[in-house]
Chain A
Amino acid sequence: MAVYKKTYRPYEGVLTPGWSRFWVLARYAFADLRKSRFLTFFYIASFLYPLICALILYLRHNTAAIGVLKFDASKLITVGTTFFAHLLGWQSMLAFFLAAFVGPGLISPDLSHNALSLYLARPFSRAEYVLGKMSVLMFLMSLMTWVPGVLLFLLQGYLEGWQWASDNARIAWALFAAAWVWILVLTLLSLALSAWVKWRPVAGALLFGVFFVAAAFGAAINGIMRTKWGHIINLSYLVGTVWNSLFDLKPGDGAVFFGVPASEEISMVVCVSALCAILLFCLYLLTIKIRGAEVVR
């Protein structure tokens, strides 16, 4: 019906399946993010490191190119666990900046303008709302972290021979699992802060605070108390410990930005428990804040 008729009619057409509606939020968020030139430029630039890695892998296996450049690339860089762990470390740090830029703007505008009551008055649950918002960060960060990592692993396998890929399958699994640990921590933390602090710039600053100030505070505790338990509030240390276990790296050889100093290790069980506690706390914050109507007791 043409809009000029200016009338109301009930809707009797087909409906989309309920499970797919969380993606509506993600679609609109992506459309909104595309408007930011800075973000678009940053996101494209974040693929520079994987591209350089791909070039290195190619050069290592291209005798003609090695002949022209007159050096043995295989002697410069060893492609193994550390190569991929460093790639993931670098990309994960870029993902952190992405989360600090994108995350605070996902929930805080809805809360500050009371839009949640409109979302939740529809056949749309709080869990779907959170999932819709999470999927934005999870999708963007996946493309930055484990997707290029696994693609590079496949390229190396193709160039080196599939036997290499088979022998080092653990690396591919570690890339996938380690990236998801980081993505989950970042996503839930940035959404919880976005929900808790309605002012977007403050939420972004808080995310930096949680990582860097907490790490500095933890180091101070270690220095003053002559202990290593201060690392328990250092998120990059906790994630680094899990990564070392997944990649089977020794302390001191960890991924860039996620290093675990030798002789300051905390047991894996404690680190995983601390991360789980942080994730549960984030979910608790989201449960409190994501409501159709605020309850004043």
Chain B
Amino acid sequence: MADQPVIELDGLEVRFGDRPILKRLKASLTGLAIGLLGPNGAGKSTLINTLLGFHKPSSGTARIFGQDIRTHARSLRSLLGYMPENDAFIAKMTGVHFVRMMAELSGLPSAQAIERAHEAFFYVGLGEVRYRALGTYSLGMKQSAKLAQAIVHGPKLLFLDEPTNGLDPPQRLRMIQLIQEIRARGEIHIMLSSHLLRDVEETCDQVLILKDGNVAAFCNLEEERKSNKRFLEMETRGASGSFVEAIERMGCEAAWSGNGRVKLVLPDAVEVRQLYQLAAEQNVQIRRLNHKRDSLEDIFLKAMEAPVGRL
């Protein structure tokens, strides 16, 4: 399943009048959770809207699960779930009533729709407030209700447009946990659009970075994580050149960067605990040890600095 493209962008171009918004995008996305990154105005929402059939491509096309969005828009939409960026609801309807209606519009018979609406509400943690009017929900509740309507009909691909927008830290954490849980079940592919690197890093395994309507970068976060797993940064007290030499004798590549900081790459044969043993032998305190972080930030910044087009 991992090798079959979920979304293929085949020279996809979208214009609003004379203004090109998406410029002949080409990419093959296979991940279970795909992040869509880019600054404001990069074309993230336009790409999602085009894949949903809201905008017609000016040229080129895209395929979702092998089906062309130009020719199979309706049948494709039964496989998709969409959580929009902005508030989207009917204020006077109760939450469960609204989600039930959305399920029925997706084709579920009335009895199944009401059952699944309740399930979806409990799943996103809104079980207790499901009979309250949507207009009375807090921002976090509205985000969760939008997620409930997006998953109620059992989609195969879920578009999440800025799902943590405006959420406070605990609500954001809850939303991220929900997305991770959905991904972990492996039954739904996710495309998450965000300008928050942390959201994408915590939930996605592939990232497509857009800039000015172009694909600025495409990377497999899972592979990045695997490679970075062996890249360590260490903050020590009492260490000297002899400690670094001892590390190198273990087979590691190490670099002393002053102030007790050591960067090193662990070979597969060396375990982290051996570093602690070595430090204990040499009477060195390891105050902090991190796997290399911010890899996505590095990739994103490089993509933004690149003059035109792909890295």
Contact = CB atoms under 8 A, between A and B. Distances in A.
Nearest to A120: B54
B109 A115 contact: no
A21 B107 contact: yes
A67 interface: no
Interface stretch (A4-12, A191-199, A237-245): A4-12
Interface of A: 1, 3-4, 6-16, 18, 21, 24-25, 28, 32, 109-110, 113-115, 117-125, 291-293, 295-297
B154 interface: yes
A123 B182 CA distance: 23
Nearest to B111: A13
6 contacts: A1-B115, A6-B127, A109-B92, A118-B82, A123-B78, A293-B55
Interface stretch (B60-68, B117-125, B235-243, B245-253): B117-125
A5 to B, nearest CB: 8
Interface string B109-140: 10010011011101100010000000000000
Q: Taking chain B's interface residues, is the majority helix, strand, or loop, or is none over half, making it mixed?
A: mixed
Contacts of B77: 121-124
A15 B88 contact: no
Interface residues of B, number: 53
Nearest to B49: A293
B82 to A, nearest CB: 4
Q: Taking chain A's interface residues, is the majority helix, strand, or loop, or is none over half, making it mixed?
A: loop
Given A21-B104, A115-B88, A121 B75 contact: no
Given A6-B123, A13-B109, A295 B55 contact: yes
B75 A292 contact: no
B305 interface: no
Contacts of A296: 16
Contacts of B181: 8
B101 interface: yes
B37 interface: no
Given A12-B154, A121-B52, A121-B77, A24 B88 contact: no
A122 B104 CA distance: 10
Contact of A11 (B17, B154, B182): B154
B18 to A, nearest CB: 9
B154 A10 contact: yes
Given A24-B105, A113-B91, A295-B16, A121 B80 contact: yes
A118 B151 CA distance: 12
